[in-house]
Amino acid sequence: MGNVIEVSGMSFGYTRDMILEDVDFTVEQGDFAVVIGDNGVGKSTMVKLLLGVLRPTKGTISISGKPLTSLRGTGIGYLPQNSGSKASTFPATCEEIVMSGLYKKIGFGRFPGKEHKKKAEEALKMVDMLDKRKSLIGELSGGQQQRVMLARVLAGDPEILILDEPTVGIDAESVDRLLHILHHLNIDKKVTILMVTHDVEKAGPYANRVLCLSEGACREELLPDAKIVHAHAHSHPHGGAEHIHCANCEHGDAHGHDAEHCAECAHCDTSCGHGDHHACHEHDHAHHGKEGEGNA
């Protein structure tokens, strides 16, 4: 499969303050890539660069093999953060909201035809919101609103879907449902996904690629071909370095950890010698349990 997003030597900043510097990464057709990193490291800036809203100070961005000059013709769909809540005060039905994403096809000042309504219904069906098509968007929950806004994007038949923190502000059940829908789009509809998220514990199981932004640089983690059973990132107090642990790793145990991480993980007793992160945790908990009994 070819690269649908290719970033080479991309830098961006204002005067002397560089937000991103010499960033390189690729996203291949069919990938489900997640972008993680602390607040202020440049995740949203990177999204704006990929959308053509900002232009890099240096370096190149290519979409489907062509230099990015505008979003027109790129096949990119974009879902911003809290997009549902921003539309909640608009007096429109879910169907009307979705069809508003088709205004280029409908034409300015024209009424939508049967084919446009059918397209809106198909998009709402993909996000399990067809039964709410006649409901006002303001009457829905935050999670439902976000799914309607996703349907609005999907009505445009994007080949690449970029999402900026789509799970912010919605409840845990809605997060699970949204991620399941994205998984379906990725696997069954062959939509390439790049998603910025803080919730890697939830999104990790669906990803095959993780991009870690830190101090303006990007580290790419290519995970196993099989869909991840569990992935997480955490910072080690002794080094501050962010690690990605993934299940299905050839060198890891059933929990996706290996002996090297066992020795480095701040939660392990490095002297236990088990060489198994899970065993280390059990050893550590048992050790603390005995201490607790002694102090009782």
Give the domain range for residue 124: 83-157
25 in the same domain as 166: yes
185 in the same domain as 69: yes
Residue 120: per-residue pLDDT: 94
- Beta-strand relationship, 58-63 and 3-14: antiparallel
254 in the same domain as 121: no
Domain edge (last residue) among 122, 157, 192: 157
Exposure of 115 in the CB half-sphere (CA atoms within 13 A): 5
Residue 67: per-residue pLDDT: 87
Residue 51: per-residue pLDDT: 92
Beta pairing partners, 194: 33, 162
What is the CATH number for 57? 3.40.50.300
Give how many domains the chain has, as a whole number. 3
Digits of tens for pLDDT over the chain (296 positions)? 678 999 999 999 987 788 999 999 999 999 999 999 888 889 999 999 999 999 999 999 999 888 887 656 568 999 998 777 667 777 899 999 999 888 777 666 677 778 889 999 999 999 999 999 999 999 999 999 999 999 999 999 999 999 999 999 899 999 999 999 999 999 999 999 999 998 888 898 899 999 999 888 888 765 554 344 333 333 333 333 333 333 333 333 333 334 333 333 333 333 343 344 333 344 444 444 444 444 44
Rg (CA), the chain: 22
95 in the same domain as 227: no
Tell me how far apart the alpha carbons of residues 111 and 273 are, in angstroms, rounded to a whole number. 71
Element (H, E) at 279: helix 277-295
166 in the same domain as 67: yes
Q: Which long-range contacts (CB under 8 A, 24 or more apart) does 12-20 make?
A: 12/42, 12/45, 12/49, 12/54, 12/56, 12/57, 13/57, 18/57, 18/216, 19/45, 19/216, 20/45, 20/46, 20/49, 20/56, 20/213, 20/216, 20/218
The 10s digit of each residue's pLDDT in 103-138 is 777 666 677 778 889 999 999 999 999 999 999 999
Domain edge (last residue) among 137, 157, 177: 157
168 in the same domain as 65: yes
71 in the same domain as 176: yes
The 10s digit of each residue's pLDDT in 231-252 is 333 333 333 333 333 333 333 3
Q: How far does CA 191 lie from the centroid of its chain?
A: 13
Q: How far does CA 294 lie from the centroid of its chain?
A: 46
Residue 72: per-residue pLDDT: 64
Name residues whose C-beta falls within 8 Å of residue 281's C-beta, 6 or more positions apart in sequence.
Answer: 267, 268
Tell me how far apart the alpha carbons of residues 262 and 272 are, in angstroms, rounded to a whole number. 10
Domain edge (last residue) among 157, 174, 199: 157
At 21, the amino acid letter reads E
184 in the same domain as 52: yes
84 neighbors 132 (Cβ within 8 angstroms): no
272 in the same domain as 127: no
